[in-house]
Amino acid sequence: MNKNDSGAGQATVRVGFSEEQGPYGERQVGVITLDRPEKRNALRTAECLAIADGVRELVDAGARAILLTGTGPVLCAGADLGGGVYEDGFERAVEAMLHAVLAAPVPIIADVFGPAIGAGCQLILACDLRVFQDQGECWVPVARHGFALDEWTHSRAVELMGGAWARNVFLGGAHLSAEQARAAGFAIDPRGATAEQFAAKIAAQAPLSMEHSKATLNSLGDDGVTREKTRVRLQELFSTTWASEDAAEARAARREGRAPKFHGR
């Protein structure tokens, strides 16, 4: 699956499945690749909407985890400042992209192999897990470019980076390095695995359990009205998970001394 640049017709976002196989030979990891290296994978409206569409397509195709990565030395240089990003449509496209990542029922892992800047940092904030390679770093140059970001971005940064680092990034212009991201808990330690291998490990876990945990974690900052709207859904997910075939499979696997094989039901 390719999402194309509507201007020159050149693919800028690639969508497909990893060759990394699960424990039973299945391909469970969807991959979204930012493929605009000549522009350091900078985002325009087209890229944001392609990412949102790609997330939904991979979920519909059966992905149990999604890896976000890119080509070239930079994961994402943020908004393409020469690509119409000051128009109203770009802001809505960014919101659609972030919402798709947050709303996906499967874990989305960012492969931060290089810098993630501005909107690129927002994108990895929306992801559930982040693997920082040694050259990975992130920063948000709001004051340098004279713009402002929404409340969600600030609160998500406080939640995932910690309050001190969020202030360093937004007010101090700090670059959060791979080492600092790991120390802050913003990035996970894959214990020698590549981001793709780590994503395959995540994809082998129980899908319903991960869907419930992700939905619950993402709802914790909701206000009273929104929280009440999600309460019923979370309770349904909770009950469904405990009553699922996967829960029974996990119990059987423990008794039999083998690895469980989950089916998401």
pLDDT (tens digit, 9 = 90+) per residue, 255-265?
999 999 999 99
| For range 237-247, the mean pLDDT | 94
Percent above pLDDT 90 for the chain = 78
pLDDT at 5 exceeding the cut of 90 = no
Separation CA 112–CA 131 (nearest Å): 6
What element of type H or E holds 139?
strand 137-139
Q: Which of these three, 167, 188, 203, is where a domain ends? A: 203
| Spatial CA neighbour of 198 closest among 74, 61, 69, 78 | 69
Q: How many helices (H) and strands (E) does the chain have?
A: 11, 9
> Where does the pLDDT of residue 82 fall: very low under 50, low under 70, confident under 90, or very high at 90 and above?
confident
Kindly state whether residues 95 and 110 are assigned to the same domain.
yes
| For range 172-188, the mean pLDDT | 96
Kindly state whether residues 232 and 162 are assigned to the same domain.
no
How many structural domains does the chain have?
2
Q: Which of these three, 203, 225, 248, is where a domain ends? A: 203
- Angle between helix axes 151-161 and 163-170 (nearest 10 degrees) is 130
Kindly state whether residues 101 and 77 are assigned to the same domain.
yes
pLDDT (0 to 100) of residue 147 = 86
Kindly state whether residues 53 and 143 are assigned to the same domain.
yes
Amino acid sitting at position 96: A
Kindly state whether residues 183 and 219 are assigned to the same domain.
no
Separation CA 218–CA 234 (nearest Å): 11
Kindly state whether residues 216 and 196 are assigned to the same domain.
no
Does residue 83 lie in a domain region?
A: yes
| Spatial CA neighbour of 115 closest among 94, 95, 136 | 136
Kindly state whether residues 135 and 162 are assigned to the same domain.
yes
Does residue 231 lie in a domain region?
A: yes
Kindly state whether residues 109 and 232 are assigned to the same domain.
no
> How many alpha carbons lie under 13 Å from residue 242 in its C-beta half-sphere?
5
Tell me the pLDDT tens digit for each residue of 10-55. Answer: 559 999 999 877 666 678 999 999 999 999 999 999 999 999 999 9
| Spatial CA neighbour of 236 closest among 105, 43, 82, 75 | 105
Q: Which domain holds residue 50?
A: 2-203
Kindly state whether residues 155 and 214 are assigned to the same domain.
no
